[in-house]
Amino acid sequence: VVGDGKSTIEQLIDITNQDPRRGVGHDNLLTRIEVDRTTWQLLDRKGYSLETVLPEGEVCYLRATANLSTGGIAIDRTDDIHPDNIWVAQRIAKTIGLDIAGIDVVTTDISKPLREVDGVIVEVNAAPGLRMHVCPSVGIARNVAEPILSMLFPAGTPARVPIVAITGTNGKTTTTRLTAHIFKQTGQMVGFTTTDGIYIGDNMVEPGDTTGPQSAQVILQDPTVEVAVLETARGGILRSGLAFKDCDIGVVLNVAADHMGLGDIETLEDMAHLKSVVAETVRPSGYAVLNADDPLVAAMAQRVKSQVAYFSMDPHNELVRKHSQQGGLAAVYEQGYLSILKGDWLLRIEQAEKVPLTMGGKAPFQIANALAASLAAFAQGVDIGCIRQALHTFEASTDQTPGRMNLFNLGKFHALVDYAHNPASYEALGGFVKNWPGRRIGVVGGPGDRRDDDFITLGKLAAQMFDDIIVKEDDDTRGRDRGDAAKWIVHGIEEVIGEATYRTILNETEAINTALDGAPNDSLVVVLPESVTRAIALIKARNPLPHQTLTTNGAIEAVAQSIDQYVEVAPSGLRQG
C-alpha cells in the first residue's frame, strides 16, 4: 500500500479492498489483500503495525512476492519488453519443450536486457494463468487465449474426435467391438463402450453394462482417445438421452420386439422412433448407416439431416439398387462376398467364409453385423485394407466378443454360448444352429421383465431350433414368481408340433451342467445364459480344445489368413450374375 499521510496501514488495506475488481481467490480480476503471518513479519522488520500511519508517498510491502493470488496488481508491459528478453523467453520454452509457458522474470527494468540489470528467470509454468494479460490493472488488455486456441485447434482441422454411435435391438455389442477393432488397424487410440464395459485401447476402464451417456462421457472426456465408438442402448436414451449433440456416423442395425411394455415403448414403431434418435443426430457431413432389409430402419432415412449409407444381405434389394444408381454408398452381401457399393463400382472386401466372425459364412446375422461395421468405417474414411485386416483378425471368441457366438470344441461335441434373449435374436441364432449336422441341445430362458407372450414366442422358436431343450430361469426373476417364466416358455414349446423333447431345470448352473454331461457325440449344446461369465467358466472348466473356426462345409479347421486377390467389379456384373 502507499501512504497518504493520514490513514493507517489497516485503513489503506480496507480502501484497496474496496476496489470492485477484487474478490476472494480467483473469483474476480484481482484478489483481496489478506493480513497473514507474512504480512506481520514484513511489518515487524520495518517496526510498523497495522495502526502505523505511513507518510504520504511511502510504499509499504505486505507480501514478499508479487502475485495476483496474494493481492498484487498487473501492469501490461508488452510493448516495453526488450527484444533480447523475448528471445530468452522463447529459448527457455523450447529448451524445456513446452508449447505454452508462463515465464516469471524478476528485473528492475523489463525494457533492458536482463544481463544489463541483473534480471533473472525464477520460474517457468506449464499451465500459466491468463487473467493478468486479459484484464490488467494498468495498460492494454491482450487476447492471449486466441493464439493458444489457434495452436491447439488450427483452422480447418477437426476440434473433436470422430464419434461412431451404434444402436439396434440385436448385434450392437458385436458390431461395436468389430467397428472399434477396424479403427484400431489405423493406429489410432480407440475408446468404446459396450454391455461388457468401457474400453480405451486394449484396456478395460470399467466393467459392466456401460451403454448409457454417462459411460460415453468417460470416453469423450479422455484426452488420449482419438476415435469414439459408442454402443447406444434403449435404456440409456430413455433415461438420460445421448452423451453428444451430434455424431459422425450413426448405425442402426435393426428394430425388433424386446423390452416391449417398458418405458412407454408399446409398439415396434415406438421402438423405431426411439432408436432413430441416433441416426437423426448425425451431422450433415456424416453418414447414417441403415439396414435396408428392415423397413422400420430404412424409413429413418426420411428423418435424417446427414448422408445415408445402406447395408443389405440382399444384393438385389430395390432400395439399395436405387440408392447406388444415384451415387449413394452401400454395403451388400453378394456371391459370398462382403462388398462395398458406391455408384458404378463394387469393391469386394472379403469372402464371408474367410471372416472368422461369420462362423465359416454360416451365421447370416454375423455377416450383417460385419457389413454394418465395415460400412461405418469405410464411410469415415478407413482404408479398405485396414477393414480387411480387421475382418481377418476378429473372432467370435471370449476375448473379443464374450457371450456372442462363442463356440467351444469339447472333443466329442461342441458348446455355443450366446446372449440371445428375444425372439429376433433367437431367430438369428437359428440361422446357424439349424445347419449343425449333429443333434442340437438348447439351454434356454429369458429376462423376467418380458411379457408372457414373449416367453411363449421364445418357446416356439426353441422348439423349431433344437432337438432337446432344457428350460431354465435367470437368478434375478425381475419381479416374477420363481418358475413362472419357465412355465410360459414350456407353453410355447408345447404349441409346436414336432419331436423336440424338453424338461425344466430352473437353476442355470445345474441346467448347463446337465446339458453338457448328457451331450451325445457330434452334438451342439447351445447355452443362452443370464450370466455369460458363469456359463463360459463352466465350459472352460471342461478344458475345451484350442480355438478353431468353421469352414463352409461345417468341418473344423485352424484359422488361416486369406491370400486371395481382391478386385473391383462393375455392379452390372453383379446384377447379371
How far apart, in whole angstroms, are the C-alpha atoms of residue 433 and residue 575?
A: 30
Among 14-28, 39-53, 452-466, the minimum mean pLDDT is found in 14-28
Instruction: Answer whether residue 431 shows pLDDT above 50.
Output: yes
Phi, psi of 336 (to 5 degrees): 85, 0
The reply to whether 137 and 258 lie within a common domain is no
pLDDT of residue 286: 96
Q: Confirm if 220 and 136 have CB atoms less than 8 A apart.
A: no
Name the more confident of 513 and 268.
513
How far apart, in whole angstroms, are the C-alpha atoms of residue 480 and residue 454?
A: 14
Residue at a domain's end among 363, 393, 423: 393
Please give the average per-residue pLDDT across 89-118, as a whole number. 94
The reply to whether 172 and 142 lie within a common domain is no
How far apart, in whole angstroms, are the C-alpha atoms of residue 502 and residue 441?
A: 10
Cell of 174: 458385436
Across-strand partners of 407? 416
Instruction: Answer whether residue 79 shows pLDDT above 80.
Output: yes
pLDDT of residue 555: 38
**DSSP structure class, residue 426:** H
The domain spanning residue 519 has which CATH number?
A: 3.90.190.20
pLDDT of residue 301: 95
Please give the average per-residue pLDDT across 560-576, as a whole number. 38
The reply to whether 69 and 91 lie within a common domain is no
Among 165-169, 191-195, 206-210, 401-405, the minimum mean pLDDT is found in 401-405
Q: Band the pLDDT of 569: cuts 50, 70, 90.
A: very low
Instruction: Answer whether residue 98 shows pLDDT above 60.
Output: yes
Residue at a domain's end among 73, 107, 125: 73
The reply to whether 151 and 184 lie within a common domain is no
pLDDT of residue 570: 42
Instruction: Answer whether residue 65 shows pLDDT above 60.
Output: yes
Instruction: Report the run of H or E that residue 284 belongs to, with start and end.
Output: strand 282-291
In sequence order, the 6+-apart residues with CB closer than 8 A to the CB of 389 are: 185
How far apart, in whole angstroms, are the C-alpha atoms of residue 335 and residue 77?
A: 74
- HSE at residue 4, side-chain half, CA atoms within 13 A, is 11
Please give the average per-residue pLDDT across 174-178, as a whole number. 94
Instruction: Answer whether residue 560 shows pLDDT above 60.
Output: no
User: How many residues belong to the chain?
Assistant: 577
The reply to whether 208 and 237 lie within a common domain is yes
Domain contains 46: yes
Spacing of C-alpha 231 from chain mean position? 6
Please give the average per-residue pLDDT across 105-132, as a whole number. 93
Burial class (CB in 10 A: 0-12, 13-18, 19+), 423: buried
Name the more confident of 423 and 60.
60
Domain contains 552: no
pLDDT of residue 556: 39
pLDDT in tens, 380-401: 999 999 999 999 999 877 777 7
Q: Band the pLDDT of 258: cuts 50, 70, 90.
A: low
Domain contains 558: no
Please count the other Cβ atoms lying within 10 Å of the Cβ belonging to residue 405. Answer: 24
In our burial notation (b when 16+ CB lie closer than 10 A, e otherwise), range 70-89 reads bbbbbebeeeeebeebeebb
Query: Three-class SS of residue 25?
Result: coil
pLDDT of residue 395: 83
pLDDT of residue 420: 81
pLDDT of residue 257: 66
pLDDT of residue 255: 86
The reply to whether 92 and 69 lie within a common domain is no
pLDDT of residue 397: 74
Domain contains 268: yes
The reply to whether 86 and 180 lie within a common domain is no
pLDDT in tens, 333-370: 999 999 999 888 889 999 999 999 998 888 888 999 99
pLDDT in tens, 495-508: 987 788 999 999 99
Name the more confident of 113 and 129.
113
The reply to whether 235 and 368 lie within a common domain is yes
Number of structural domains found in the chain: 4
Q: Closest Cα to residue 305, out of 330, 328, 280?
A: 280
Residue at a domain's end among 38, 53, 73: 73
Range of the domain at 512: 406-546
Q: Could you tell me what percentage of the chain is helix, strand and coil, using 3-state DSSP and rounding each to the nearest 5? A: 35, 20, 45
Please give the average per-residue pLDDT across 183-203, as a whole number. 93
How far apart, in whole angstroms, are the C-alpha atoms of residue 44 and residue 42?
A: 5
- In order of 1, 4, 38, 61, the CA distances from 13 in angstroms are 7, 12, 15, 11
Query: Three-class SS of residue 342?
Result: strand
Q: Band the pLDDT of 261: cuts 50, 70, 90.
A: low
Q: Confirm if 255 and 275 have CB atoms less than 8 A apart.
A: yes
Please count the other Cβ atoms lying within 10 Å of the Cβ belonging to residue 21. Answer: 11
Q: Confirm if 218 and 204 have CB atoms less than 8 A apart.
A: no
Instruction: Answer whether residue 564 shows pLDDT above 80.
Output: no
Instruction: Report the run of H or E that residue 310 belongs to, with start and end.
Output: strand 307-312
Amino acid residing at 218: V
pLDDT averaged over every residue in the chain:
87
Cell of 89: 523467453
Cell of 94: 523450447
Q: Band the pLDDT of 561: cuts 50, 70, 90.
A: very low
Rama region for 42: left / alpha / beta (φ>0; ψ in -120 to 50; rest)? alpha
Amino acid residing at 477: T
Instruction: Specify the pairing of strand 307-312 against strand 120-125.
Output: unpaired
In the chain, % of residues over pLDDT 90: 60
Domain contains 480: yes
The reply to whether 258 and 370 lie within a common domain is yes
Q: Confirm if 117 and 109 have CB atoms less than 8 A apart.
A: yes
Q: Closest Cα to residue 367, out of 253, 271, 257, 278?
A: 253
Query: Three-class SS of residue 20?
Result: coil
Instruction: Answer whether residue 272 shows pLDDT above 90.
Output: no
Q: Band the pLDDT of 553: cuts 50, 70, 90.
A: very low
In the chain, % of residues over pLDDT 70: 92
The reply to whether 148 and 272 lie within a common domain is no
Phi, psi of 104 (to 5 degrees): -90, 125
Instruction: Answer whether residue 195 shows pLDDT above 90.
Output: no
pLDDT of residue 265: 67
pLDDT of residue 567: 42
Domain contains 523: yes
The domain spanning residue 369 has which CATH number?
A: 3.40.1190.10
What is the strand order of the sheet 197-200 is part of? Answer: 203-207, 197-200, 190-193, 227-231, 163-167, 247-252, 282-291, 307-312, 329-334, 337-342, 345-351, 568-569
Domain contains 568: no
Highest mean pLDDT among 21-35, 250-264, 373-387: 373-387
* Termini Cα distance of the chain: 92
The reply to whether 256 and 340 lie within a common domain is yes
Among 25-34, 76-85, 283-292, 439-448, the minimum mean pLDDT is found in 25-34
How far apart, in whole angstroms, are the C-alpha atoms of residue 446 and residue 351?
A: 34
The reply to whether 314 and 235 lie within a common domain is yes
Domain contains 556: no
pLDDT of residue 264: 65
